[in-house]
Structure 1
Amino acid sequence: MSVWKWEAEGKAKAVVVIVHSAYEHHRRYVWLVQKLRNEGFHVVTGDLPGHGIEGVEVHAEAFKDYRRFIKKMIRTGLEYDLPLFLFGHGMGATFLMRLLQMEHIECAGVICTSPWLHLEHNPPMRAKMLTKWSPNTTVDHEITVDQLSRDPEFLEKFEEDPLYVPVVSGSWYRELQTLMKSVMQPDLIIQDVPFLLHTGELDRITDREFARRWAFAQNLSELQYKLWKEARHDVFQEPNREDMFFYTQSFMNNVLHSLGYVID
């Protein structure tokens, strides 16, 4: 899978690695990428294995392949020799949380949006039954665009996105359940790094309360938690995403200032 780099407009002050969620692809983040570039951030991202233009009809990828690709993106970001921020959405945020539990990552801060720690919207059959299926059993998670965002422009653009594939195998779904349970272990905490967590008040995909409890249990020196009123799962695809970007930009600039960088 290819790692994509977008250079900042003008002199760069930091790098942002973006890890997208399950089923989607990095092209859904074009607006965010451009906003970051305009504000002096290099951006590193790419499609997780089995996703995007080289995607599959049924997700059955091994989660270790996701981890390898995410670490590859992080290594690419570190090559710039600038402060590095990690940005993860949905399942991508969950992977970042797990990585920070298991390893020390040279990063200046972490931004997570709507992490998958406990799903509210499960496949049609009960998740407990699904995890007992054979590895070759497939099921449609049936996440629709109107569950992700209220924004009419987003709904029109991605209502029939051919690269959005929410169909998974039984083995894939079992690995997802294992990942979420692993992150929620009370005896594991992440490294002490500035952390910003965004959740949507009207998120019906994942339980935001699990994410909030997890974040405050980390005992971090610097933690910001923002619940966006009326927002759905994809908070950066919502009509008021400019406000969300400003909030995130302020967080990153404050972190950079604390590291001794002069921010214009």
Structure 2
Amino acid sequence: MTGVPVIELDEVTFRRDGKKIIDGISLTVRAGEHWALLGPNGAGKSTLLGFCGAVTFPTTGVVRVLGEQFGRVELARLRRSIGHVNPRHALQHPLSVREVVLTGITGTNDLPMRWTPTPDDLARTDALIDALGLSGKAGDRWPTLSQGERGRALIARALISDPKVLLLDEPSTGLDLAAREQLLSTVDTLDRTHPEVASILVTHHLEELPSSTTHALLIAGGHTVAAGPAGNVITTEHVSTAFDHPIEVRRDEGRWSARAR
């Protein structure tokens, strides 16, 4: 499966209230690749992620997800093969970690009434909880968890449905330094445990990129600044252009940092 296109954006544009949010962006993400989607606030990152998650239609251009073209396929069916990690995940009830992970099977925020997980569902859930270092927290309720524990639980929730694509929407939001590093270490392990899964991580902080990042798309004002292998894109020149400010970019042992010149 490695190398097969799983997300293809071809000259997509998007307008909202007459304003062009995305202007002619193209992107191809292949199985096993790990992309960073970078840019300043208001650059259009969330809109692009909506295309990749089979949530938003472009105004013009072509979107293909898992080989299926928008307009010719039921998007709800596509979404079942896409894992979405959103740190702002909303719950109406104080579910346990195990129950939150199980909602990844049903594709709901809370457990549906009259739905009972199978023994296989429970076994896979506990295996993922253990793999992500939460075995001692499986029965703990959501309100009692730290932000870092919630982040790892949401990754397990996203993986339980065996997705082809994993979308991480600013997963380090609200995390302290230790929790952020634990979460990024967890993301790095996915390259080994789920090598066929493609991922896109959205952030505007270079320090929040895992070392497993292979490619990057850097955007500003709805346009592409640079796209391709991460080492060629995440540079002082490109980042300074995207953020319209002189920024020095450094990379040490696979991790990036940035500071104003």
TM over 0.5: no
- TM-score under structure 2 length normalisation: 0.29
Q: Decide which structure has greater strand share.
A: 2
Q: Decide which structure has greater helix share.
A: 1
- TM-score under structure 1 length normalisation: 0.29
Greater length-normalized contact order (CA 8 Å, ≥ 6 residues apart)? 2
* Larger gyration radius, structure 1 or structure 2: 2
